[in-house]
Structure 1
Amino acid sequence: MKLLIFVGLVGHVFCVGGFGSPGSIAASEIPDQVIEATKQELQKQNLVYTDTDLRAQASNVQRQVVAGYIYKYTLTLNTADGGKQECTFKIWYKEWEKFVQVQQSDCKPAGIVKRQLGGGHFLAGGVSAADCNSDKFQAPLQEAVRHVNMMSNSMFHMTPVQVTKCTSQVVAGAKYTMNVDFQQSETCMNDKDHMTSLLADCPPSNSATHTDHFQCTVVYAPWHKTQYETDCKMVQTQPKPKFGNDEHDLCHGGMFKDFQKKHQKFYSTEEGKVSQLIL
């Protein structure tokens, strides 16, 4: 039986009817075209990372001889929110045809420790207290501000004046929780130009006496199209509205709280609450 062989244009010998087994190589041997395809794939996944040299972040690099080469490797990337993502790639490259095809790409938070619980469920990272003023909380806070202003009935921007009780947790992505106090700005309208504006850009009115308190949860999943999933619930701490100066309630306080919770309504002044109730 004759063994047929042919010589590839790139100077490598391939055996007909079979391919070479994967072999480990240095990250420096990954072609520029494969690195460029990797960058494009990360852009498609909306993954915001801070590393400038992807080869320096590559590990477990393997190359398999096919009709060309298949490169397999893992990237550990530092993300813009201060976390890390671990991405695995499988890319087919044929130099003589200038052909590059991403066959597999998968990104997930790095360093997740899973503990098996009853019923087969897994718990990712534990909840950790976090510095509300840290850089990694700026983007989640802006998403919380966006969410609150989209719910607001006010003509003016609701600006965050205080952020407390911040926590972070590694889940399928990153989960941030925070308590945020809002007051109405006198300089910024509630429009698309100010939807995520913070205290420095939209200070509250000097005469502002009313504060709305929210508990916000923001989940950051960079591989999703929207990246952020946000939920803010108002914490009712203001006294119930009254008629005049006597002690007769305008309405049953519990009913009003139920209304706010069900419809996610809140008002920047006590007068706004009274007007809504009269209507």
Structure 2
Amino acid sequence: MIEIRFEEEHDARMMYEHLLKGAETAHESMSVLLEESTVVVHIPPGDVWCADEVLIPAIIRFITDVKEEKWILSILEQAFLYRDQDERMQILHIVHSLLDGKLQDIPYKGLQKERRSLLEASLAEFVQNPISFSFDSYVKFRLRYYMAYLVRLTELAIDEYKLEQEYQSFVEMLRQHVYTRKSRLSCLHLVYNGSFTFYDERGACLNQERLVQYIDEGIVYNQESYIDPNIIAPLLSIAPKTIYLYTAHIDDNMIITIRNVFQERVIVHTIGEFEKMMGKQVRKQ
């Protein structure tokens, strides 16, 4: 018999429900009871399979599904002094993205695997049949490495949050520049297929020499932040009313920035649509 005692009845119920799901695969060899704030698991003596394949995975799911977010929010507030609820939730969202591997260009790999390894190590030699223990004591004495991991994970998320805030400020600065600048071309055709090529409203290619003539040097040598001199600087200097963007790479970082800065001025097309447009221009000529 294995007893897990909790301070809160709600936690005990959540652990009980997680164990019930796992116990369905164990058939009659394992039973789970809820006695107020204590979860009681009956496993036949010598049945290692139930402990390794049902009990330990259920405890891990309980920690990651129920407790982990609360611990991270507490770390943000107490260790990093993030008091604002909205800020904490934004950073928590980044934590989930880091664990899911959804953030582009992030060098931190294997965070999900490391988390599970730390939790498995904390339980492997500890959860034996029979045993009776307090969940809070387990957290205090067995999860020190996992808690240190959560602090490190939170620090990574904070770094990404700060970078995102800086990026948003940068984008807003560029937007303001676009709104206050007079358009030097009514429209611009921008083709991206590994590299960027500019065309004016008549379909004439704007080579680098032509683009340099448009560029406002005050934009390139902006004191506040670095502005790409080959793509962003010409676009800001020309400030076209409409940008026809032809690409198959809408997730490219530069494409995302262009769309964020120029917003409704950008109309996205496929590369094939540009080829059709150029064909029409040739026939007109």
TM-score, reference length from structure 2? 0.24
Higher RCO (CA-CA < 8 Å; seq separation 6+)? 2
The structure in which a higher percent of residues are strand is 1
